Amino acid sequence: MNILIAPDSFKGSATAQEVAKAMKKGIIASSLKANIDIIPMGDGGEGTAKSLIDALGGDYYEVVVKDPLGRPIIGEYGIINNNNTAVIELSSASGLDKLSNKELNPYLTSTYGTGQLIIDALNKGVRKFIICLGGSATNDAGMGLLKALGFKFFDKNKKELDHGGRELLKLDSINDTHVHSAIYDSAFQVACDVNNPLIGNNGASAVFGPQKGANKEMVKVLDNGLKRFGEVVQNFKGVNINEIAGSGAAGGTAGGLLAFLNAELKSGIKIVMESVNLEKTLKNKNIDLLLTGEGQIDGQTASGKVVFGVANKAKMYNIPTIAIVGTIGNDVDILYKYGLTSVFSIINKPMSLEKAIINSLKLIELQTEQIFRLLYHYLK
């Protein structure tokens, strides 16, 4: 039997590589004889860069950069494909986890540190980029990132804007004469797992602002700031980013990258599947069964999460897909028509969330073993 293990990370608990190894141990413990391949996956959210680097054998680089409030921290990124492509997670420098709850303030937070990571890769000769947008603490439309690359943003008095989402309200003009020379020789793919536009009731500020520290009044101000950003961008670049699906990702950073870096905005899971040649593996290795998983599965998984993506791809080749997850939410049955065969939770008795997180890898291994013991019984 040929089995492909291709899970997402279990957020806050285990990386995709760790999850895959636990699943493999469970299969081996079941006594089922199988050829097992592992491909860690991601969908553009946190952990995607590590999954790609683990899957493709890339190298990590650490850089001193600015956190969302301008303090020095160590950020990291990876380079894959024979030093050809940099994989950068916005959360590594500009993520929510870099701040305490008291420090969350999208009026002030900036993506500048992520731009510093891009600069470091450019200076190493990299000209292809995959930017993963999950987990940002920002609502600045990527202005900070673009500043790090050399773009300048001014108010009506020709004073350069400070950092943060509130500053966008003052935006009057943009200058690109000091941009890093390699930017225009580079290609950017933006990986995200949301479809929200830049502004409006379903936009970046309204949907994601509260988790970044914005109250109702702040959401209105931030949304107006993004609206102003969109207006100035349209005048400067001739591009209307306000209503583009996905432009609101990471506090509008996706919109900024689309406008100024000519970036290609793609579903994160599609970028990852293409990068790791998932389809080629499914075909060339005659895979009989795909095993995947993630921390939580529900109806929203069909919007472009890992389980949906890999199951749908496996369906093209009539390969059954089993998902092992932390928790099973509502409306999971929608996934069955997209290729998911069955789903199992790792929770095997009453326990707290904390205990489930601490013991997740062992629970994954045990549940995998039970599933494949049953398969072994019918296949032996």
Within this chain, do residues 201 and 317 fall inside the same structural domain, yes or no? no
Q: What would the pLDDT profile of 40-59 be if each residue is shown by its tens digit?
A: 998 887 788 888 888 888 89
Q: Report the C-alpha gap between 321 and 307 in whole angstroms.
A: 9
Q: Report the C-alpha gap between 151 and 136 in whole angstroms.
A: 21
What's the total number of domains in the chain?
2
pLDDT (average), residues 324-350: 94
Within this chain, do residues 244 and 369 fall inside the same structural domain, yes or no? no
Which residue from 32, 45, 39, 5 is spatially nearest to 268, judged by alpha carbons?
A: 45
pLDDT (average), residues 132-137: 91
Which residue from 106, 55, 29, 46 is spatially nearest to 277, judged by alpha carbons?
A: 55
Q: Report the C-alpha gap between 21 and 368 in whole angstroms.
A: 11
Using the 3D structure, point to which of 269, 289, 316 is the last residue of a domain.
269
pLDDT at 311: 97
Within this chain, do residues 11 and 84 fall inside the same structural domain, yes or no? no
Within this chain, do residues 26 and 70 fall inside the same structural domain, yes or no? no
pLDDT (average), residues 13-40: 95
pLDDT at 34: 94
Confidence class of residue 291 from pLDDT cuts 50, 70 and 90?
Answer: very high
Within this chain, do residues 63 and 145 fall inside the same structural domain, yes or no? yes
Using the 3D structure, point to which of 269, 294, 319 is the last residue of a domain.
269
State the residue range of the domain holding 291. Answer: 2-41+277-379
Q: What would the pLDDT profile of 94-107 be if each residue is shown by its tens digit?
A: 999 999 999 999 99
Confidence class of residue 87 from pLDDT cuts 50, 70 and 90?
Answer: very high
Q: What would the pLDDT profile of 57-66 be if each residue is shown by its tens digit?
A: 889 999 999 9
CB atoms within 10 A of CB 264: 13
Mean pLDDT, rounded, of the chain: 94
Q: What would the pLDDT profile of 74-84 be if each residue is shown by its tens digit?
A: 999 999 988 79
pLDDT at 76: 95
Q: Report the C-alpha gap between 52 and 49 in whole angstroms.
A: 5
pLDDT (average), residues 29-47: 91
pLDDT at 303: 80
Within this chain, do residues 261 and 163 fall inside the same structural domain, yes or no? yes
pLDDT (average), residues 347-362: 92
Rounded to two decimals, the pTM is: 0.89
pLDDT (average), residues 293-303: 90
Within this chain, do residues 115 and 240 fall inside the same structural domain, yes or no? yes
pLDDT at 49: 86
What CATH number corresponds to the domain at position 360? Answer: 3.40.50.10350
What CATH number corresponds to the domain at position 196? Answer: 3.90.1510.10
Within this chain, do residues 265 and 281 fall inside the same structural domain, yes or no? no
Within this chain, do residues 341 and 363 fall inside the same structural domain, yes or no? yes
Which residue from 6, 40, 19, 14 is spatially nearest to 367, judged by alpha carbons?
A: 19
Poorest-confidence range of 48-52, 123-127, 275-279? 48-52
Using the 3D structure, point to which of 253, 269, 285 is the last residue of a domain.
269
pLDDT at 235: 93
pLDDT at 68: 98
pLDDT at 208: 95
Within this chain, do residues 243 and 284 fall inside the same structural domain, yes or no? no
Question: Torsion angle of alpha carbons 100, 102, 105, 110, nearest 10°?
Answer: -30
pLDDT at 158: 96
Within this chain, do residues 260 and 131 fall inside the same structural domain, yes or no? yes
Within this chain, do residues 84 and 221 fall inside the same structural domain, yes or no? yes
pLDDT (average), residues 196-207: 94
Which residue from 11, 56, 45 is spatially nearest to 190, judged by alpha carbons?
A: 45
